[in-house]
Amino acid sequence: MADPARARKIADRIKEVIAANLEQVIKDPDLGFVTITDVRVTGDLQHASVFYTVFGDDDQRQRSSEILQAHRGKLRSLVGRHLGIRLTPTLELIPDALPETASHLDDLLRSAREHDEQVARAAAGAAPAGEADPYKKPADGEDEHDGADAR
């Protein structure tokens, strides 16, 4: 098993190599705007999971995914040339769910903000229940301490 720091360095290097050379390796005009978001390498350095996002609609994402899968061998060869290690890890290309998750969180935050605005509007015209000043006050002519100190 490799050192975790070494595995992280190799993952970072794979990310840089693929991101920088993706357009040169895959010369397909149907490939969308692909961003490599993360790479994770197993502890034995035999397998790398490459996470990516595609800017565009569902059809563009589907087509780009098919193109990336078809050129996975070329990408692995590229990585092997640039890494310079004995064994080149196999590549698994995985669409990253980060944009969908971020969109869902944005929707939840928008909903919470709207609810907060509704509560603020309801509280704007509200008056406290009971008296305005609920604390007891000494009657006229009485001392504040009610004679507790007088002996």
- Domains of the chain: which residue ranges? 4-96
- Greatest mean pLDDT among 2-6, 46-50, 142-146 lies in 46-50
Q: Is the pLDDT of residue 67 over 90?
A: no
For the cut 70, the answer to whether the pLDDT of residue 133 exceeds it is yes
The answer to whether the beta carbons of residues 65 and 92 sit under 8 Å apart is: no
Position 97 scores a pLDDT of 76
Burial class (CB within 10 angstroms; exposed 0-12, middle 13-18, buried 19+) of 121: exposed
CB count in 10 Å sphere of residue 148 = 8
pLDDT digit string, tens, across residues 102-124 = 777 888 888 999 998 888 888 88
Please give the Cα distance from 112 to 117 (Å, whole number): 9
Sorting pLDDT into bands at 50, 70 and 90, what band is 41?
A: very high
In percent, the amount of the chain with pLDDT more than 90 equals 12
Query: For residue 47, which of 89, 82, 3 has the smallest C-alpha distance?
Result: 89
DSSP state of 67: H
Q: Does residue 101 surpass a pLDDT of 80?
A: no
Give the pair of three-digit tokens for residue 37: 């978001």
Does pLDDT of 148 surpass 80? no
- State percent of the chain over pLDDT 70: 89
Q: Is the per-residue pLDDT at 86 higher than 70?
A: yes
CA distances (Å), origin 52, targets 32, 34, 49, 62, 126? 11, 7, 10, 12, 51
CATH number for the domain whose boundaries are 4-96: 3.30.300.20
The yes-or-no verdict on residue 151 having pLDDT over 50 is no
Helices (H) and strands (E) in the chain, counts: 4, 3
